[in-house]
Amino acid sequence: MELLEVLKSFGLSDYEAKALVALLSKGTLTAKEVSEISGIPRTSVYDVMDSLVSKGLVESFGKPKKFKALSAKDIIAVLSSGVNRNLEYLKRELPKVEAEEVDVIRVYRGEMVLEKLMEFVEEAKNEIIGVISYIPDTLAEILKKARCKLVIISSNASVIENAETYEFEKKEEVARSFRNFCHGLFIFDGRKTLSIFIDGTQIAIVSESPAVIEFSKTVMIPVIEFMRRKNG
């Protein structure tokens, strides 16, 4: 019976659900009558009725003791109140035990790639560092909007004005091949990374994982320091 299953989903036992339905359908009953109508064993029926009374769903009165369920409307209100209390408790307590989610990696494709890059560039307050094979015009326009220190190493880094830029030494045939794709890595304020791949399709991989950020720094910082000394 679906009604019993739904009542049980609100924390009632099988016997409690059967007793409540019996009382709602028949009105005031003794424990013996509840047992006969619902099929609850007589040895258990008093415990079941006491439990329903304690939950505020059933009233008891008289001698011999009789039981009467609240109206359907009031039963729903009591059950709803219990659910709301539980939800409020979960809202308050679950975040306290939740592990900080720092290793999430998100993948973006298509137009979202440049949108995320724009978002991170505009949000950056201290420093953006990037190593990228080639900077197409679309990326150049975004990087030029940086309002913080910008350090870029690329085959055509000089297209970014008002930035600390370094260019790879490259042969002309290699330079031409760079224009066919764009692969690179950016770190924003030392808090998040964005790996970008543009080769026919556009893909970006974003992470705020401390482990990923630290690994990215170990790859990029020595390259930047080398370029600084070389151009020193």
CA 195/CA 190 separation, integer angstroms: 14
Per the structure, the complete domain to which residue 222 belongs is given by 105-231
Residue 79 inside a domain? The answer is: no
Q: Phi, psi (5° rounding) for residue 148?
A: -140, -175
- Does 222 lie in the same domain as 169? yes
Per-residue pLDDT reduced to its tens digit, 162-213? 899 988 765 455 455 555 678 899 999 999 999 999 887 899 999 988 888 8
Domains identified in the chain, total number: 2
pLDDT per position as a tens digit, 10-29: 889 999 999 999 999 998 99
Domain boundary among 29, 53, 72: 72
Q: 22 and 121: one domain?
A: no
> Is there a domain that residue 211 lies in?
yes
11's torsion region: left (phi>0), alpha (psi -120 to 50) or beta? left
Verify that 118 and 223 share a domain, yes or no: yes
Which CATH number goes with the domain that contains 116?
3.30.870.10
The model's pLDDT over 120-144, given as tens digits with 9 standing for 90+, comes to 999 999 999 999 988 989 999 999 9
